[in-house]
Amino acid sequence: MHPKIYHATEHDINHGLIDPDAIHVIQKLRDAGFSAYLVGGSVRDLLIKKSPKDYDISTSARPEQIKHLFGRNCLLIGRRFRLAHIRYGHKILELSTFRSGENESDLILQDNVWGTEEEDVRRRDFTINGLFYDPSTHTVIDYVGGWEDIHKGILRSIGDANIRFKQDPVRMIRLLKFRARFGFDIDPDARKALVNCRSEITKSSAARLLEEILRMLESGASASFFNLMNEAGLLELLFSSLAHFLKGKQGKEIYLLLTSADKMNRKNLKSPLDRSVLTACLLYPIICQEIQTQFLDKDRTPHAGDITLLAATVTKDVLTSSFTHFPRRISSTTAFLLATQFRLTPISPKKHHRPKVIRHKEFKLALDFLEIRACVDKKLVETYNTWKQIYKQQERHGEHKAHHPAPFPRG
Ligand code: ATP
Ligand code: MG
């Protein structure tokens, strides 16, 4: 099939937004006689005038040929799905060789079957992610109808949505991620397939699911994403207690925290809030409810130890006992910064209270979460500012560094 070609006069891709290293890599492949294009998310983002986060390059060069061309800067990764990573300082560009997919079969049997450029885009998930961009001629190359769908704002599977979702159920999460991020409509076939294939989600790779969910927490559209996930019944299958809480009366508290975090992240998409801070948005209202029912309703005040225990239990119940097991690195920090909230804003305030926790190496993360809470509840703004000042003073005096020389983890 001949692709549709859209020339520079028909699109307004800002060529200046494209990473010069990506252009250089494509040119080098071309000079060596291979074809090479930008593909996928970066082309989509350029067309909707968002700055791409990462650049994927598709080429006719085989992994060994890429390695030969780029030498020490190139690392071949993945056994099942061989990719080349080309390193430029801290940045990594991902190169994949044109592959053929298995559109009509239910199972992806083998990933390293080399194919033509058309086959390469046909194995991709949605039409909006199936466009090539040729930086040397400034043309968009469209085999799948992605151009029109981007301009109409439609999310459409490449091929039969039922088959594509069964082949790889993570695509259902990706569908909702693009709906949340861009506000695009889901085409009726994909909508029906989402209902039909919903239960397949638990057959997908937990690691890939988790990565998509964590990326969505950072995306600036997390409130909308979790709402869509819940409406589609996917959250129920992945995090059942969270899904129930969100549907209940206090569910809106979680959405308010996510919305505040989204606002903060949208201002700084390149370095979003830490994943543990964002994860805390999902749990804080649940802990508050537990404190209410287990303690306050019974006229009991929880001690610091009770709260630490509760934070650990809720984190475990919601996140680590579920299908999509959050890594300990995130869940233990989340539990810490949740428990710390009740020291920063104690249930029964004490005068001249300055807990030792301020010296903890992850205190800054607890402070970031307090900032999110203060965006929801303006009464907390003053408290947040006071803590921020105390923290800054302490940093200036090197108190913090003396105890924990490691920098704060971010992003
Ligand atoms: P993001 O902006 O979140 O990075 P993306 O679409 O670029 O979104 P990536 O995970 O970076 O997502 O994937 C790059 C490209 O690889 C996609 O645009 C799509 O063409 C293809 N792709 C990714 N995941 C799948 C999948 N599950 N099935 C088919 N194609 C996929
Ligand atoms: Mg991408």
Q: Strand, coil or helix: what is 238?
A: helix
* DSSP calls for 2-27: PPEEE-TTT----GGGS-HHHHHHHH
The residues near 132 (Cβ < 8 Å, ≥ 6 apart) are 37, 38, 39, 43, 58, 117, 121, 140, 141, 142
Q: Which of 118, 152, 186 is the last residue of a domain?
A: 152
359: CATH: 1.10.3090.10
Q: Is 125 in the pocket of ligand 1 (CB under 6 A)?
A: yes
Side by side, which strands form the sheet with 91-97? 4-6, 139-142, 131-134, 36-39, 56-59, 91-97, 83-88, 74-77
Residue 219 lies in a domain: no
Rounded to whole angstroms, the Cα distance separating 136 from 235 reads 44
Q: pTM for this structure?
A: 0.91
pLDDT at 411: 31
Angstrom distances, CA of residue 217 to CA of 58, 155, 282: 28, 21, 10
* DSSP calls for 75-94: EEE-SSS-EEEEEETTEEEE
Same-domain pairing of 9 and 51: yes
Nearest to 410 by CA among 364, 375, 367: 364
Same-domain pairing of 396 and 247: yes
What are the φ/ψ torsions at residue 56 (nearest 5 degrees)?
-100, 140
Rounded to whole angstroms, the Cα distance separating 1 from 144 reads 10
Same-domain pairing of 136 and 165: no
The tokens for 18 are 């494209």
Nearest to 220 by CA among 258, 253, 168, 165: 258
Rounded to whole angstroms, the Cα distance separating 353 from 347 reads 13
What pLDDT digit, counting tens, does each position of 123-149 carry? 999 999 999 999 999 999 999 999 999
Q: Is 56 in the pocket of ligand 1 (CB under 6 A)?
A: yes
Q: Is 212 in the pocket of ligand 1 (CB under 6 A)?
A: no
Residue 410 lies in a domain: no
Residue 17 lies in a domain: yes
133: CATH: 3.30.460.10
Same-domain pairing of 166 and 253: no
Same-domain pairing of 1 and 126: yes
pLDDT at 112: 65
Residue 291 lies in a domain: yes
Same-domain pairing of 269 and 284: yes
CA of 368 to the centre of ligand 1 (A): 30
Same-domain pairing of 144 and 199: no
Residue 187 lies in a domain: yes
Same-domain pairing of 43 and 93: yes
Domain coverage including residue 378: 242-402
> Would you write out the chain's pLDDT as a tens digit for each of its 411 residues?
899 999 999 998 998 889 999 999 999 999 999 999 999 999 999 999 988 888 999 999 999 999 999 999 999 999 878 899 999 888 899 999 999 876 545 455 555 689 999 999 999 999 999 999 999 999 999 999 999 999 999 999 999 999 999 999 999 999 999 999 999 999 999 999 999 999 999 999 889 999 999 999 999 999 999 999 999 999 999 999 999 999 999 999 999 999 999 999 999 888 999 999 999 999 999 999 999 999 999 999 999 999 999 999 999 999 877 777 888 899 999 999 999 999 999 988 765 566 677 778 889 999 999 999 999 999 999 999 999 999 998 888 775 544 443 443 333
Q: Is 41 in the pocket of ligand 1 (CB under 6 A)?
A: yes
pLDDT at 355: 65
Same-domain pairing of 145 and 250: no
Q: How many domains does the chain have?
A: 3
Same-domain pairing of 147 and 175: no
Residue 43 lies in a domain: yes
Nearest to 151 by CA among 10, 1, 7: 10
Same-domain pairing of 246 and 373: yes
pLDDT at 103: 52
What is the atom index within ligand 1 of the atom nearest the CA of 164? 28
Residue 229 lies in a domain: no
CA of 52 to the centre of ligand 1 (A): 12
Q: Which of 152, 183, 214 is the last residue of a domain?
A: 152
Same-domain pairing of 281 and 325: yes
CA of 105 to the centre of ligand 2 (A): 25
Length of the chain: 411
pLDDT at 402: 42
Residue 237 lies in a domain: no
